[in-house]
Homo-oligomer: A and B are copies of this chain.
Amino acid sequence: MTIPARFTEPADTTVEAPPKAKRKAAVRREVGRSIPRLESHAKVDGSAEYIYHLRLPGMLQGKICRSTVPHGRIVRIDASAALAIEGVHAVITGEDIRTLIPDPYYGPAFHDQPILAIGKVRYVGEPVAVVLAADLHVAEEAADQVVVEYEPLEPVFDEVAATKPGAPIIHDSLRPAGMFPDLQYLKGRSGTNVALDARVLHGDVEKGFAEADQVFENVFRSRKVVHATFEPTVSLAELNGSNGLTIHTSSQSPSYVRAEVSRLLGWPENRVRVRTAFLGGSFGAKLYIKLEALVAACALLVRKPVRIGLTMEEEFYTITKHGATVRIKTGMAKDGRIVAREVETWWNGGAYADIGPRVSQKSGFTAAGPYDIENVSLINYAVYTNDPPAGALRGFGISQIVWAYECQNDIIARSLGIDPLEFRRRNILHDGRPHATGTIMTNAEIDEVLDRLSDRMHWDVLFDHGSGPVRRGRGLAIGFKACIAPTTSVAVVNVYGDGSCCVSCSTVDMGQGSDTAMAQIAAETLGISTETVRVIHPDTDVTPYDMATLGSRSTYHMGNAVRLAAEDARAQLLRIAAATLQTDIEELEYRDGAVISRSGARMTMRGLMLARFGMQAGTVIGMGTFTPPYTKPDPRTGQSPQITPYWMLAGAAAEIEVDTETGRIRVTKLVNVGDVGCAINPAIAKRQLNGAGTMQLGFTLFEEMRFNEGQVINASLADYKIPGMLDVPEDLSAELVEFPHEHGPFGAKGVGETGMFSVSPAIANALCDAIGVRIMELPLTPERVLRAIRESENRPLESE
């Protein structure tokens, strides 16, 4: 659907973009300051609040009993031994939950996931029962004593195999979530593991290939990885009065949790209160429903507060990043221009859809890359398998896609003898040109990103590839992402009786610095110091709606809402001043947290509040609502004139050393360049790029969930390695490209995911540059590199 334009703030959506040269930032005091995060001190002294630490009086701890088979029917659950253990309060099963919630299936895209398994399990680790006890150790001991008997069913793990005829079917039929009209056509579809088959058609791809001078086709794969947040997932639920429920949860999406738990219970939203605190990292792991429905149901069943906090091992069984198989076929013209591209992607969504279909759809429509290609066909399959569910992970599928197209672009460039950077310059999608989705590209500084990469890498200078067993290489890659649409953010800025103020919004600060950014935006608008602004954390009873903290949308969406709310508060303060000074509002100017009249009279915010309320009293409540315009894609072509509020553009370049005797890659230099529009806080924005770059470095070099018949065999941080300080490149840097986005708050765009996009292909391209081998599958483990070297030398590894 199209959101009527009148609902959107005119200042944000209807202003014509001025020429770039004019879109330089005005003089600002707070926006653009690289101040430390507001909560830095509290995080160091231990006073910062995390839900994992929360204990409620009288609460029970829950321990989840999990499926031991990847696919099977539940024949029997015997909790008698568990219940016999002293201190065990209850053992809850899916059938118990059904007494409270007749249809206990949840999910943001499909209502496919039971709160606890009912009748069937679909992956190893699926929650089957919960043991509740006041003492967590008792609950853990008892959980081991719950006996579940399964009748095994044939599993399927590979995302391509799962789409083939004859593959075991994991869900009887599809149940799209009611909130998405565009998915309703799938309702009741059966006999398939493909939850969504999303296509974008642009031009005539067959004709393009026919006219191409050369066609390249490759398949790229990436494996499942996990978010590995330091604070594990945790939720607590308690009764709130006689007919309400409060959920304390480590969630990126409190507003969604409220709506979904309300829907499950059949309650209006105002009876469910969801509050969050700081998150100890999330990266997409703590989105939508994770433990919230389960603790809510348990608390209502036993009429006591219930807490469930996962162990790190359980995180591996809760949500993962999609493994993906990408077949990419590209038609080239002699002049090095891409004339046709077809990308077919199989997304391994695991046993439950979570937001996977949206991942496949929304990252899928960018699968041709930020390139100007006349003929494009993009096909994305969101596939059910018997792996743990896959959902959002920083980048929302983009890094799997960029991995494919930027590796292939390098293959093509090398094959055609074109410098990889020049190859990309030649094909870039410039502002004003239509993207494959039909949306015109705007505010996309990809040229500048390439220029900065070139500068930083001294691309024009001859590069020493080394000799001997350790070889050196360099590579680069670019990528882009659309921001999620359509979504809304609402913010409130309260000015208190003494003129101090707060920002009240439902954006979750999970380490990305959103509190600080929102405070800077409010402070800039109100002309006060950022450090004096207080940011109130999400509590759905009182902080207004926000779609969720995801997809790098907060700075743009909530930032705009906060800016509008602060402007509203400022306008109210001006009206108070006009009334108090008995003057026209036009005679007044708001400057540096005060109103100044032409006659020189000055009223501070405190003074204005005193004037308005006659004492230190009252609240001036500024409100801001931001919903950028969006047009629903044509279901036949997947095209839309306005598919995203903005594009995130980024590039990465790497210099590496490869030990050809061990296969080990050492990244010596990593540069991440991101088009951020305007950095509200440059230091934080750079840390986002470097943090994302380092995270993707782990996914590139060694992170990989390893499975044995659906069982994760490295489900611990001892066996699943994430980057440590020694893995960080000596020369790690980030660079911000800042051309203010015409509709961003002070020109800002999101940056949380930007640094993820291009790291993997940059390193793989550098590997090829160093030793001439091309690896098509992530991660680039020493074993895989060594195998590729041996294969290239026609002497395979002994193990094979």
Q: Which A residues form the contact surface with B (CB < 8 A)?
A: 1, 3-4, 6-7, 39, 41-42, 45, 47-49, 53, 55, 57, 179-180, 239-244, 255, 258-259, 262, 268-271, 486-488, 490, 492, 494, 496-502, 504, 532-534, 536, 539-545, 547, 576, 579-580, 612-619, 621, 623, 625, 627, 630
Question: B621 touching A623 by the CB < 8 A rule?
Answer: yes
Whole-angstrom CA separation of A262 from B498 in the bound complex: 10
B613 touches A627 (CB 8 A): yes
B618 touches A545 (CB 8 A): yes
Instruction: Please state if A542 and B534 are interface contacts (CB–CB under 8 Å).
Output: no
Q: A244 is contacted by which of B240, B262, B534 (Cβ under 8 Å)?
A: B534
How far apart are the CA atoms of A39 and B45 in the complex, in Å?
40
Q: List 26 A-B residue pairs with CB atoms under 8 Å apart, sorted by A's residue number.
A: A4-B580, A7-B576, A7-B612, A39-B242, A47-B239, A47-B242, A49-B241, A180-B615, A258-B496, A268-B500, A268-B532, A270-B496, A270-B500, A270-B502, A271-B534, A486-B614, A496-B540, A497-B545, A534-B541, A536-B541, A542-B542, A542-B543, A545-B613, A614-B627, A621-B621, A623-B623
Can you add 10 more A-B contacts, CB < 8 Å, to A270-B532, A486-B614?
A39-B241, A41-B242, A47-B241, A55-B57, A268-B500, A270-B534, A271-B534, A488-B613, A544-B621, A618-B625
**A7 contact from B41, B579, B617, Cβ within 8 A:** B579
In the complex, the 9 A-B pairs of residues with the closest C-beta atoms, listed nearest first: A268-B500, A544-B619, A542-B542, A41-B242, A270-B500, A42-B241, A42-B242, A270-B534, A545-B619
Query: How many angstroms between the C-alpha atoms of A496 and B579 in the bound complex?
Result: 33
Is there contact, CB below 8 Å, between A494 and B544?
A: yes
Contact among B180, B499, B545, B630 with A496 in the assembled complex (CB-CB below 8 Å): B545
Q: Known: A243-B41, A259-B497, A259-B498. Contact between A617 and B487, CB under 8 A?
A: yes
- Closest chain B residue, CB of each to CB of A536: B541
Q: Tell me if A270 and B545 are in contact (CB < 8 A).
A: no
B6 adjacent to A579 (CB under 8 Å): yes
Contact of A618 with B239 in the complex, beta carbons under 8 Å? no
Known: A269-B496, A488-B613, A490-B618. A541 touches B55 (CB 8 A): no
Which B residues lie within 8 Å of A541 (CB)? Answer: 502, 504, 534, 536
A4-B580, A242-B45, A490-B619 known; A542+B539 contact, CB < 8 A: yes
Determine the residue in chain B with the shortest Cβ distance to A547. Answer: B617
State A239–B45 Cα separation when bound (angstroms): 11
- Most central of A57, A255, A496, A504 by chain B CB within 10 Å: A496
A269 touching B500 by the CB < 8 A rule?
yes
A3 touches B271 (CB 8 A): no
A4 to B488, CA, bound (A): 38
Q: Which residue of B lies closest to A578 (CB)?
A: B6
Choose from B6, B47, B492, B617 the contact partner of A488 (Cβ within 8 Å): B617
Which residue on B lies nearest to A579, using beta carbons? B6
Tell me which of A240, A255, A270 has the highest count of chain B C-beta atoms within 10 A of its own C-beta: A270
What chain B residues lie within 8 Å of A242 (beta carbons)?
A: 39, 41-42, 45, 47-48
Complexed CA–CA distance, A205 and B453 (Å): 92
Complex-state Cα separation, A524 to B579, whole angstroms = 32
